[in-house]
Amino acid sequence: MRLAVIGCGYVGLVTGGCLAEAGHDVIATDTDAARIDTLNSGKLPIYEPGLEGVTERARRAGRLRFTSDSGEAVRFGDAIFICVGTPPLESGDADLSAIDNVARQIGAKAGSFKLVIEKSTVPAQTGEQLRRALAVYGRSGGAKFHVASNPEFLREGTAVGDFFHPERIVVGVEDAESEQQLREIYRPILEGQFHCPVHQPTCPAGPAPAFLVTTIASAELIKHASNSFLGLKISYANMLAELCERLGGNVEEVTQAMGLDPRIGPQFLNAGLGFGGFCLPKDIQAFLRLAERNGVDFGMLREVERVNKRRIDLFLEKVRRALWVLKDKEVGVLGLAFKPNTDDIRFAPGIEVVRRLLGEGAKVRASDPVAIARASTVLAGVDFFEDPYDVARGAEALLLLTEWKEYRQLDWARVHKEMARPLVLDARNMLPPAQMKALGFEYHSFGRPDLTSAPVFA
Ligand SMILES: NC(=O)c1ccc[n+]([C@@H]2O[C@H](COP(=O)([O-])OP(=O)(O)OC[C@H]3O[C@@H](n4cnc5c(N)ncnc54)[C@H](O)[C@@H]3O)[C@@H](O)[C@H]2O)c1
């Protein structure tokens, strides 16, 4: 099938690349002309493991093209995926101006029947508005439109594998023809008919993805409800960590045992610095606002946000307790991306921690396996190093802010030698406290006994 993708960010590139790899013909477009130039030069504007190979193969096979001419993309696609950003407004509501802008382009340029699919995360009832907008903006062109919702559940860092092996594909439709078109688009994924870039030579046996057909409003709600629930799990684990610190428990023992209950499950129960990124924080805010505007008090989500924001305050309290005064102290930071295997720093808790350290006069030296380039555009006054051992050299404290496996695998005895004071504050509970103590570190994490007898400034 001929597909258009509007918006070449994480979701647009993964959707366009993977659907082209699966055999469809795709044209992707973006208002950011520099981004299209980068893509046309064979490079990716984002770091996402496996995506470069996917897009390159699809381009060479002639199934994937990039253009800054949105009209070309819109005319080409029988189905059009909207993958533009929906960032938070000051109020917490989702900013839907990019969606409106896309509706205007599609309405004006379509010329023939199109299935318009929301893949961006949007509040319930956006589909309704989109249908009206397409009718208004397209009234002189005479083209007919169907609207569908197909929320995306990929996780940055494992997005390609997630796209090819989803647990579920949700399609919100209002007519049988749209359902049929979406089944056809996803047929290669549902039937396992694609070259899997993640598993070679064959994919592990597993159940086929569930293909769930819902109303448009339900599909929109499913995405916000899922992300909000994930945030809730993380905040719950973080509250348990606080309680463990007061009562002498170990949050890992508690959450591990909880997670063995299949009704609870082990994922998203890791205590630490809290969640960030472009999805969870803004989706929870938008869901909360949606509920409020419709007269539903979803107060528990306000609490999820509050607990999450407090993680950074609590972590800085730990840093201050250990280091006393921060001014002029050499503080090393490992990890800036909001999570491992991505260079995405949007709403990354680590970036906020660094800003606050700088605000208190600390001298920050930082590293990240892939996010330094992006971080250096938003953090002035930080010394960046590719090599984590350079960050440790002469540092009076080392802060672990993103759980990159590379940091777990460091030669910690060498790190100890490099540091001016062997103090590690692990905001992601990555390292075993007993081993860190055995190596001679002062070591602090969240909700686990510190086992440290070294002096702490109280
Ligand atoms: N990043 C994720 O992990 C993820 C996962 C699931 C869902 N989502 C949702 O998908 C949507 C996109 O997220 P993203 O992370 O890919 O965002 P992004 O910011 O990386 O990409 C958005 C792209 O859209 C382009 N754009 C904006 N307005 C445009 C317009 N009018 N026409 C054409 N292009 C336009 C931007 O230039 C940008 O390249 C959001 O709603 C997000 O909540 C994101």
What is the average pLDDT value for the chain, to the nearest integer? Answer: 96
Q: What is the mean pLDDT of residues 219-223?
A: 98
Number of Cβ within a 10 Å radius of residue 104: 16
pLDDT in the model for residue 310 = 98
Q: How far is the CA of 432 from the centre of ligand 1 (A)?
A: 37
Q: State pLDDT tens for residues 277-335.
A: 999 999 999 999 999 999 999 999 999 999 999 999 999 999 999 999 999 999 999 99
Between β-strands 114-118 and 145-149, what pairing exists: parallel, antiparallel or unpaired? Answer: parallel
Q: What is the mean pLDDT of residues 186-199?
A: 92
Position in ligand 1 atom list of the atom nearest CA 13: 16
Least reliable range by pLDDT among 194-198, 256-260, 352-356: 194-198
Alpha helices in 335-384 (DSSP H): 349-359, 372-378
Q: If we measure between CA atoms, which residue out of 138, 82, 149 comes closest to residue 113?
A: 138
Statement: residue 194 has pLDDT above 80: yes
- Give yes or no for a contact between 198 and 50, defined as CB atoms under 8 angstroms apart: yes
Q: How far is the CA of 251 from the centre of ligand 1 (A)?
A: 35
pLDDT in the model for residue 458 = 40
Note the pTM of the prediction, 2 decimals. Answer: 0.95
pLDDT in the model for residue 203 = 87
Q: How far is the CA of 85 from the centre of ligand 1 (A)?
A: 3
**Residue 278 DSSP symbol:** S
Position in ligand 1 atom list of the atom nearest CA 122: 41
Q: State pLDDT tens for residues 339-375.
A: 999 999 999 999 999 999 999 999 999 999 999 999 9
Phi, psi angle pair for 81, to nearest 5° = -90, 125
Q: What is the mean pLDDT of residues 82-108?
A: 97
Statement: residue 74 has pLDDT above 90: yes
Q: What is the mean pLDDT of residues 426-440?
A: 97
Statement: residue 37 has pLDDT above 70: yes
In angstroms, the Cα distances linking 242 to 167, 219, 426, 447 are 33, 35, 15, 6
Q: How far is the CA of 7 from the centre of ligand 1 (A)?
A: 6
Q: What is the mean pLDDT of residues 70-92?
A: 97
pLDDT in the model for residue 452 = 59
User: What residues flank ligand 1, with Cβ below 6 Å?
Assistant: 6-12, 29-32, 35, 83-86, 98, 101-102, 120-121, 152, 154, 156, 278-279
Q: What is the mean pLDDT of residues 424-436?
A: 97
Statement: residue 456 has pLDDT above 60: no
Q: State pLDDT tens for residues 197-211.
A: 888 888 888 888 999
Contacts of 314 (CB under 8 A, 6+ apart): 242, 446
pLDDT in the model for residue 455 = 47
Percent of the chain with pLDDT over 70: 98
User: Which position has the token pair 């064979």?
Assistant: 42
Contacts of 391 (CB under 8 A, 6+ apart): 332, 333, 334, 365, 366, 367, 385, 398
Statement: residue 164 has pLDDT above 60: yes
Statement: residue 457 has pLDDT above 60: no
Beta bridge partners of 79: 3, 115
The confidence band for 51, taking pLDDT boundaries of 50, 70 and 90, is very high
Q: Is 8 a catalytic residue?
A: no
pLDDT in the model for residue 195 = 87
- On the CB side of 23, CA atoms within 13 Å amount to 13
